[in-house]
A and B are shown apart, each in its own frame.
Chain A
Amino acid sequence: MDFSSLYDSLALIKPEIIISVTLVLIVVLDLIYDKNKKLVPYLALLGLIVSGIYILSDIANEGFAFKMSATSNKFGLLALDSFGSYFKLLIILTSVLIVFFAKHSVEIENTGKRQGEFYTLLFGMILGMMFMVSASDLIMIYVSMELLSFSSYVLAGFIKLRDRNSEASLKYIIFGGVASGVMLFGISLIYGLTGTTNLYSINAALQSGNINLIVLGFSLLLIVAGIGYKISAVPFHFWTPDVYEGAPISITAFLSVASKAAGFAILIRFIKTAFVTNVDGSGNWLLVPVFDWKTLISVFAILTMTLGNFAALWQDNLKRMLAYSSIAHAGYLLLGVVVFSQIGIEAILIYFAIYMLMNLGSFYIVMLIADKTGSEDIHDYSGLGYVTPFLGVSFAVFLVSLTGLPPTAGFIGKLYLFIALIDAKMTTLAVIAVLNSVVSLYYYIRVLKHMFLTKPNGEVKEIKLSTANVVYVIVLLIPVLVLGIYFSPLVNFAESCLAFLSF
């Protein structure tokens, strides 16, 4: 490590530093005010917002941080570019929404004094994700993923009141431990083959030839397994339904959006940095012909969306249903990767922003209903659309958006994915994807059927909403509707964030 450029490196990671400082401040505040935890969320918000402003203010900020050495090798552990900044912004935005989410959540409120720990761990996750999205060294990828994982293991089992919490946490640890072990093994093989852990150097080594392709293929499969676990791609998804169902709902929502976004960012960066030799005029990536990424990701995409959608059909628990739905959405998102072009990446960026809005909205409404009725079972939703029309209609919009029907934002997300697919002339995949969205209609609309069409057994209690609840839903609802009709700002922003740091 070259320490002469340490100051330059630190200047590049101001947002991450702010998150770290906030983490420490939360611990201190937690110790000072032992009884009263009201201030903690506000401190968390402050840290997030300041960090967000820093990201936004120099979104085009580029450079390598923590260079290996000043002379021989200019590449560093972190590559700061606008692609990473976009994901950091997304993570910060999700975190801000999750802080409010947790503030409104009864189950988090009931943990009383332990709320300090909750936010500390949450910031651990955020920090891990933020390093993840710009990591350009296999060791950095591994370390940041572990930071994310360990915080989330604890948070998944944070509420000790219910058995399934502990079950979720334990399953998560076991699966996660295996996945990261497998990934580490893959990393060690890559190091053995190329003599480096830096993605840029790996790219150069691969281009120079003389690589044992069988060992390389095997090691890449292992690494993909590790990343696939994070984005819950089939067949590495087994933990997802159990953990999503068992974890506190705010953490489920966070895992389903931010953690998945970080996973996708690292998958894209890994392929882009280590395997792409050139980007041609029409935005297509030219890959080093050492590994058949296209087939592998295609198979993952088809399996992930199909299995996610079909498994969701049979779920009665809303959290579990949304867990399978998020698996299916990971499948759609993989379609953006499989085209290996700039437009595919743009589609992913657009989709994630929209997915964040609609998915958080759905989880939030499930939480509001679960807090009042104590149930996440679809049969307990009967007649709810009439007693609380606001929640019913909002949920309808979020679910229609998740299905991908116009005039909601979800349609625009899907539209861009399909545009990327058709542009790459991958019509078979496009057909499979649209048929999948028809399947998804059935389970999303099933919720609405129960809310509006089914006669309830007995009296349905009204769900009283606070102003904060209503505001939260509306804040998510308006962009979902507006982006469905006027999407230029989002697309323009995503287009401006497609720069990867290159050689």
Chain B
Amino acid sequence: MAQIVAVGIFVLMFVLIIMDRIPKHIITLCCAGATILVVFGLLMRSPEAIWETLNLRSIGTVQFWYEAGEAAESTSGINWATIFFIFGMMVMVEGMAKAGFFRWLCMTIAKAVHYRVTAIFITFMLMSSILAMFIDSITVILFLAAVTMELAHLLKFNPVPMIIAEIFCANLGGSATMCGDPPNIIVGTALGYSFMDFVTNTGVIAGISLIAVLIYFYCCFHKEYRKADESRAADVVYPDPKDAITDRREFAVSSVIFGIAVVLLVTHANTGLTVAFIGIFIAVLTLVTSGKEALDLLKKVDYKTLIFFVGLFVVVGGLEQTGVLVLVADFIGKISGGNIYLMVLIILWVSAICSAVVDNIPFAATMIPIIKTLASVTGADLSTLAWTLSLATDIGGSATPIGASANVVGTSVAAKEGYPIGWGEYCKTALPATILVLLVCMVSIFVRYC
């Protein structure tokens, strides 16, 4: 009975998220409340299940803040490390945005390539990937799309292919690192992988995929953009990147903090500092250096997303505690007959297709206990399944306008500036690119891990 109710709550949560009538954080919070009261309280009568799912005791342990490997022991319930890290990054990014960092970077690159549209197209794709490795893709696309629109008006080119390419590359770049995309943060913190583990595994495959994607987008659109370059008026007044900087001191400070965050993340397996520690440290550093503006920065943090995560982890905890996810893992194990090729195929394509149509964060959170059980039952290498899951959920989300948050933000900015992008137009470009990258990932995983 508890299993049926837990599944019911989970399905209801997904349906309500898809219907988009009630804010997501309210949905997950209410479903979390129902899981605690009905599933754990009434049906299981298990205070221990509630306590394990809330996972509050993990925050008080030394391992939560220091030594990443051991912190991964508790994969059940609320993943506080993910929440603390995302909070820290949100504070840092707010500080950077306020100082004009992103606009300055975009304009500097455009100037460096002499405002040639084809070169902007390629460099913005690269920049989108690189920034998304460290910063959430929503912020990357928000600024990149805004500058792309500005340059499109100025240089008279169609910004739609460029925005779709930037979105695609942001999602791809996010798959390269542990902090690039929420599914990776959840996978990394839950299974105890470090930043460098991601870079040397998903990062390498994302790098190969990026080359394929650059060639794909270049072949599709270089003629159109070359025409824009050839027909450019001579009297165009180009913007000065320096004008983007709103405050020189804040700009310098936020750049240094960003640099520190990157160094801490890259070295966290060596230093032993966990992502939870890094997130909180960066947030404190940003707040301390921003002085009077600290309260403003804190107010701008997207707490709704953090609440969404808390609720989501409890609902998935309900599935875990009632054993539903073990049943799913057993089912996948039986279909695949323990064959690693089949397991990778199922996880890759099912995760990618699901992530293209539903939010990839709840999907990844649900899949983690499944792949963990699958690995222990069939003896398959857990890391292979983890890299497959990360790549599939991150890249699958690029296929449709609703697959990932960056897609929604990018298409929204374009529509506001006079270029609405419907499903047809988006998928015509992004779907073939997604299939191409998934094929690259599939072959890479087979060759390297199977």
Please determine whether chains A and B interact with each other in the same assembly.
no
